[in-house]
Amino acid sequence: MSINMGSIDRMLRAIVVVPAAIVVAIVVGAGSVAGIVLLVVAAIMLMTAVVGFCPLYKLLRIDTCSPHRSTRVHSV
């Protein structure tokens, strides 16, 4: 699995998107359907930011890495 997310993309997900999704989930009710969906989205965003690989980016052939880092393999 090669990294397809740049550092800015990863930081934005971890610092902006994840907390925002969690706050909105709490506001709408964490036990509601919308709240659960938002918490799942937050978890997925956090995991993709941590590992640097986004399956949706792969499907859409998007790569936000710099060219010299996109071929690096990340082992888990």
Domain of 51 in residue numbering reads as 7-60
Residue at 54 is within a domain: yes
Question: Residue 2: what are its φ and ψ, rounded to 5°?
Answer: -95, 150
Distance in angstroms (rounded) separating the CA atoms of residues 20 and 25 = 8
Task: Output the pLDDT for position 66.
Answer: 74
Inside any domain, residue 35? yes
3 state DSSP class of 73 = strand
CA 12 to chain centre: 9
> Is residue 43 a part of any domain in this protein?
yes
CA distance between the termini of the chain: 9
Q: Is 55 within the bounds of a domain?
A: yes
- The stretch 62-67 carries a mean pLDDT of 84
Can you give the length of the chain in residues?
76
Q: What is the pLDDT of residues 13-23, one digit of tens each?
A: 999 999 999 99
* Predicted TM-score (pTM) above 0.85: no
Q: Which amino acid is at 36?
A: I
Count how many domains the chain has: 1
